[in-house]
Amino acid sequence: MSPKARWTRPLTADETGTPDLLGAKAHGLVGLIRLALPVPAAFVVTTEACRAFLDSGVFPVGLDAELDVALARLESVTGRTFGAPDAGPGPDRRLTVSVRSGASVSMPGMMDTVLGLGTGPDPGQEVRAAIRSVFASWHTPRARTYRTLHGIPHDLGTAVVVQTMVDGDRDEHSGAGVTFGRDPNSGAPGPYGEVLFGSRGDAVVSGGSRTRPLGDLAHREPGVWADLTRALTLVEKDLRDACYVEFTFESGRLWLLQARPGRFTGAAAVRVAVDLVDEGTSTRREALLRVAPAHLERVRTPRVVLAPGVEPLARGIGAVPGVVTGRAATTCAAAVRMAAQGPVVLVRPETSPMDMSGLAAAAGVVTERGGPASHAAVVARSLGRPAVVGVGAHTLTDGDVVTVDGTAGLVVAGRSEVTTRTAIPHLNRLLVWADEVSGEGPDLSEVERLRAAQRVLDRHRP
């Protein structure tokens, strides 16, 4: 890349741009590259370029030429070519790229992503059109509303990551997945995630497919598994926090596509903060500052205890916390009818106003499609019903007794064991550390003990 490049940066270990300039996604990828972890070759179009585009409606002077250089560099470092014939088995000669938004602040799902570009007669124009569409998606009314609500300035703009595609659907030794370095529900050590063999990453994230527990990777692709667990350890030590990683493997070779802190809550946040101190990854001071008082109020939310070796019937997004056991009802008429004989869990593809009678009659809610802002989630929350959304395909039928965990996003067969004490030993140790810092003691509430320590630590910031 020419040293005169102003609007684009190749993602390399010596890139020193801030998240404000590169966006959080590209900045995170640079961190992975510094750890010598495998990241598909990529460059970023900076937030400055986006701001210039949003001001004028056209690419800033010089960006066009820089894109030619950056795309040529992708071809040379990968040894692949845009438009080359797909050779079938063996090393892939054809280069395709993804174009993804990546602002400095998290705006999940608000902006565009375009995958698999570069197959047409003019790959350069395809990529440029995609970059324009990602830039323009900064100003969709939905994104504007999101920023207004969350106090994010409207003039930040988004960076755009242009990255070599790796093919999770290439052969039987390919696939994609997402994983946390630890269990995001309990904070327990060990990778926790899901994998989809023979599929691209977008199929995993969309939630419509039948993913497998991450452990399957250990049996089917032991080499990928070994590289992935090693990577998770490195990323965690680097972030000094539990991590979340998106990955693809192509013909038995692992690639990392994104890494960020795990953002655990409640019991999991408390346990990880304490465990990281025990493992020597962080200090007690960091642990006390890391746990927000709001986490303590969630430490005792009821949770399902999965017996060893038991797989849940379905896994989705926990939309409304709490645990409930009841008989599954797959129609609202059945829910209304069955509710007279005991608690019912309404199981629907998604919900609409037509389902209000069923939602009102049900003690818990499960949907196949939709996310935390779906109709089902909004209604279940307002009714205080534990809910799991986006579980995908499942085998539940009317009358099945199931337990729903609306924190973990689990649907389990039968009546599960439930605990409110997942992290109590860890919590007690954290509070002893807090008292040592503040000189307070158990006569205060747990939240007040933590706050007292945080006040002292805030006064003595190094």
Partner 1 sequence: MPPVTTPHDLLVLHGLRVVGFCGIERLAEATGLNHDDVESELIDLAVAGLVTRTPGPFGGWGPTEAGRISDAERVGAELDRTGARDLAVRTHEAFEELNPEALDLCGAWQLRPLDGVVTANDHTDPAYDARVLAAFADLERRRDGVCADLALALPRFGRYRVRLAGALERAHAGELDQVADATDSFHTVWSQLHEDLLATLGITR
Interface residue list for partner 1 (CB under 8 A):
141-142, 145-146, 148-150, 263, 265-266, 269, 292-295, 297-298, 332, 336, 339-340, 349-350, 352-357, 360-361, 372-375, 377-379, 381-382
Q: Which two tokens stand for residue 226?
A: 């070994």
Is residue 383 a contact partner of residue 289, using CB atoms and an 8 Å limit? no
Using CB atoms within 10 Å of the CB of residue 86, give its burial: 0 to 12 exposed, 13 to 18 middle, 19+ buried. exposed
Q: Whole-number minimum distance, CB 349 to partner 1, in Å?
A: 8
Which residues lie below 8 Å from residue 328, measured CB to CB, with a gap of 6+?
344, 345, 347, 366, 396, 397, 398, 399, 400, 401, 402
Nearer Cβ to partner 1 (62/293): 293
| Single-letter residue type at 144 | R
Sign of the C-alpha dihedral, residues 343, 347, 348, 350? positive
Question: Min. distance of Cβ 447 from partner 1 in angstroms?
Answer: 11
Residue with Cβ nearer partner 1 (139 or 150)? 150
Nearer to partner 1, 24 or 356 (CB): 356
**How near is the Cβ of 359 to partner 1 at its closest, in Å?**
10
Distance of CA 451 to the CA centre of its chain: 29
Contacting residues for 29 by C-beta, under 8 A, at least 6 apart: 11, 39, 42, 161, 258, 259
| Residue 64 near residue 142 (C-beta atoms within 8 A) | no
Closer by beta carbon to partner 1, 146 or else 300: 146
Q: Which of 442, 441, 437, 443 is nearest to 455 (CA)?
A: 437
Using the minimum distance from each CB to partner 1, give the nearer residue, 127 or 320. 320
3-class SS of residue 257? strand
Rank residues 257 and 363 by Cβ distance to partner 1 and give the closer one. 363
Nearer to partner 1, 92 or 355 (CB): 355
The neighbour count for residue 194, using CB atoms within 10 Å, is 20
Pair type for strands 323-329 and 344-348:
parallel
Least Cβ distance, residue 13 to partner 1 (angstroms):
29
CB of 246 to partner 1, least distance (A): 21
Rounded Cα–Cα distance for residues 359 and 125 (Å): 49
Q: How is residue 241 annotated by DSSP?
A: S
Backbone angles phi, psi at 128, to 5 degrees: -65, -45
CB of residue 141 vs partner 1: minimum separation in angstroms? 6
Q: Taking the complex as a whole, how short is the minimal distance between the CB of residue 237 and partner 1, in angstroms?
A: 21
Compute the distance between CA of residue 354 and CA of residue 93 in angstroms, rounded to an integer.
52
Q: Considering the complex, state which of residue 168 and residue 326 has its C-beta at the smaller distance from partner 1.
A: 326
Shorter beta-carbon distance to partner 1: residue 75 or 350: 350
Nearest-approach distance from CB 407 to partner 1, in angstroms: 12
Neighbouring C-beta atoms of residue 78, cutoff 10 Å: 15
Our CB check for partner 1 shows the closer of 132 and 263 to be: 263
Rounded-to-integer distance, Cα 178 and Cα 257, Å: 10
Least Cβ distance, residue 321 to partner 1 (angstroms): 10
Looking at beta carbons only, is 10 or 261 nearer to partner 1? 261
Residues in the chain: 462
CA pair distance 162, 131, nearest whole angstrom: 9
Closest contact distance (angstroms) between CB of 151 and partner 1 is 9
Minimum Å gap between C-beta 8 and partner 1 is 31
Closest CA to 260 of 183, 179, 333: 179
| Enclosing H/E stretch for 8 | strand 8-10
Residue closer to partner 1 (CB basis): 84 or 294: 294
- The nearest distance, CB 336 to partner 1, in angstroms, is 5
